[in-house]
Amino acid sequence: MTMTALTVGAGLLAWVATNAKPPDARLPAGSHAGAEVLVSVTVVDHSLAATEAIADFGIAKGIRLVRVRIADVMRLRLRIESSETLKLAEPPRLCLFWEFAAPDDAGLENRCWGQPDLRDVVAAQLERNAAGQLELVAGHPLEIAAELQRGDVRCDYPPGVWDLETTLVPLVESKQQEPIDLPPVTFEVPAGGDGPLPFLQFNTRFCGLATTVYIHQGEPQVAVP
């Protein structure tokens, strides 16, 4: 399980990693430390498929299509916890992506993976106060079990090192503040065993060059139709 932390004070933007505070993260004079928001993600289970993607092996071997593994379904356990009750102007924005994400390579703009959108999953379980405002309530961590699929419109990525990015938009004295990006949470999507995988030849969108993936993970076995 991996975790990141953010310090939010009234009307200020400052964040810290779980184990270290960056040199430029400082609080304005006279401000309070505010709420520490912790985010963690765990891959509970997952399945893979195989597809074809472009790999560039240089002048000697050229550019060609290769078969690579891609994430098909992931079951995640997500936890969001605030040390103080924190009002939000909107649900947290959450984005899962591979560390070498390049959506332009697939003709896309959004680098996020998975359907349904993880933000919608979280939004459905957020609490609201008597005024109808969204809240992360102190002492009541938001614990979510989510099952996401690759879908048919977003990026496809291989197993390996992934990140979860979280953006919060605090509400302070009924005023919407500027969005705050937490440091990304890094986690591992295992490559799995050597068994044959479903081969998805069409309607996939591998977002990035597959050269390094192919070299390090090898060519996957595919199931015979």
Tell me: pLDDT of 104 over 90: yes
Which residues lie across from 142 on neighbouring strands? 80
pLDDT at 34: 64
pLDDT at 110: 96
Across the range 106-129, mean pLDDT stands at: 95
Contacts of residue 11, Cβ cutoff 8 Å, sequence gap at least 6? 31, 172, 177
* Whole-number Å distance between alpha carbons of 97 and 225: 30
* Whole-number Å distance between alpha carbons of 198 and 26: 50
pLDDT at 224: 74
pLDDT in tens, 30-51: 223 467 899 999 999 999 999 9
Question: Is 59 or 130 the better-scoring residue by pLDDT?
Answer: 130
Tell me: pLDDT of 122 over 90: yes
The 3 state secondary structure assigned to the chain is CEEEEEEECCCCCEEECCCCCCCCCCCCCCCCCCEEEEEEEEEEEEEEEEEEEEEECHHHHCEEEEEEEEEEEEEEEEEEEECCCEEECCCCEEEEEECCCCHHHHCCCCCCCCECCHHHHHHCCCEECCCCCEEECCCCCEEEEEEEECCCCCCECCCEEEEEEEEECEEECCEECCCEECCCEEEEECCCCCCCECECCCCCCECCCCHHHHHHHCCCCECCC
Residue of 31, 7, 34 whose CA lies nearest to 20? 7
| Alpha-carbon distances, residue 163 vs 3, 75, 118, 142 (angstroms) | 11, 15, 13, 19
pLDDT at 1: 55
